Structure 1
């Protein structure tokens, strides 16, 4: 089935409700960087299988589909799949998970669909598009966020004098501040050493989430302007750009690791 028809495919397994907040990780630029890094780290055999499944499209192209479909009311049920909420003192054994789903449950579901030999082509395409997107989401620190501030969405502040919120800064502004296209950014940050690969491989979804949970506290150290307002500018960019690049690189390498295993 052609790509434009698959884009219109409906959900095949979950019936959920609208969550308490809206969360879109990394924006188009970040997700495409992750997809491109992953594509470059696929085996030749797996790359051929995925290219065939996607009707010639790349992982970068489908990486943003999980956000784009949210403009359709028929996809409201997918909103909780983009994040998971957990407080500092909670563990995965003690936290009360969202009964309507979260990003970890979604990745588990779509990995299962990709591995299922009985899944249709439409189901596998959709599962792959979602899976690529959610691997990116979980590596954004505020997508493993605090429930009470909606993953930073309630933290109102300024970005170079313009009104926004903390979550949006991490989704979009810090990545786009680099002033690069996704291909340029991939070329600049996509070189992965064998040491890094060994350090990042072999971890499960909960360990990925724990890394984001550990990183998120630093995101709340906000820069102020002369009027005492939270106004994030060059110091905040300088402080957090290394974290942004690290998480994009880790997400890309880990996505490739998982897909190489799923499609082998």
Structure 2
């Protein structure tokens, strides 16, 4: 599972508002005028085609909660950090074909979003929370799906309503602070939040409004970070 379509579109919508003129032109050319929000779900859509199965491990990374990514054992199949680095390499390579640049731009938009979902930078032994069963109101779910979609969909706002709200509520000075650091800093930051999310529930627990009240701020902050940081990465790539 992944950020819901709403979540990915929120990060794309926020990023769109913070592209430089040069980056905006490059992105428009590659996406044929489509928005980042429109392209943000591409990496999930291609999962229906088995010929793209090699990209599935790019959506997440699992490593022990007490380690930094750089100190952890890397998967031979790749992970979200390796995926992002590959996308950046192809997009900055002047010899890359336009077809390749279009594909890896769409992948990058999605992967930056995934990296900010706490359960996408968590533990491997429970498959990023997929094996931890809980209830969301009267519906059976798991910890991963709770953070992928249950929380954000329960909030009931469209991606552009939520994106506008989250983007407009942050001062320019704070945006620069949120954009600071590297991909490695960002994944470790999300990984630390994963530990908090694991501690936030008990197996089989029935969660309701109280959980959303307590953790929606974390959810919204991660969506904000994903959007602002996506803009930073794209501005650097197309500088």
TM-score for the superposition, normalised by structure 2: 0.95
Quote the residue 2:186 is aligned against.
Answer: 208
* Larger displacement relative to structure 2 (40-49 or 234-243): 40-49
* Aligned positions of 1:94-173 closer than 5 A: 94-173=71-150
Greater shift in the superposed pair: 174-183 or 215-224: 215-224
Does the 8 Å CA contact 1:159/1:232 hold for their aligned counterparts?
Answer: yes
Q: How many residues align?
A: 238
1:261 aligns with 2:232: no
Structure 2, unpaired ranges of 5+: none
Tell me, yes or no, if structure 1 residue 89 matches structure 2 residue 72. Answer: no
Q: Which has the higher contact order (CA 8 A, sep 6+)?
A: 2
Report the Cα distance in structure 1 between the residues aligned to 2:155 and 2:27, rounded to whole angstroms.
30
For each residue in 1:180-221, what CA deviation from the matched residue of structure 2 results, as whole angstroms up to 9, or x when unmatched? 111111111112312212212231111111111111122124
Q: Deviations over 1:16-62 (max 9, x none)?
A: xxxxxxxx321100000000100011112221221111111111001
Give the 3 Å change call, closer, same or farther, for CA 189–153 of structure 1 in structure 2: same
4+ residue runs of structure 1 moved beyond 4 angstroms?
none
> Equivalent residue of 2:95, what SS?
coil
For residue 176 of structure 1, the aligned residue among 145, 153, 165 is 153
Q: TM-score, normalised by structure 1?
A: 0.87
What is the CA-CA distance between 1:222 and the residue it aligns to? 4.5
Q: C-alpha root-mean-square deviation of aligned residues, in Å?
A: 1.4
CA separation in 2, counterparts of 1:232 and 1:26? 19
CA contact (8 A) 1:82 1:143 kept: yes
Give, in whole Å, the separation in 1 of the partners of 2:136 and 2:235. Answer: 39
Q: Residue 205 of structure 2 aligns with which residue?
A: 230
What is the DSSP-based 3-state SS (H/G/I as helix, E as strand, rest coil) of the residue aligned with 1:164?
strand
Larger radius of gyration: 1
* Distance of 2:163 and 2:222 partners within structure 1: 13
Structure with greater proportional helix content: 2
**Residue pair 2:65, 2:195 contacting (<8 A) in 1 also:** no
Paired residues for 1:21-60 under 5 Å:
24-60=1-37
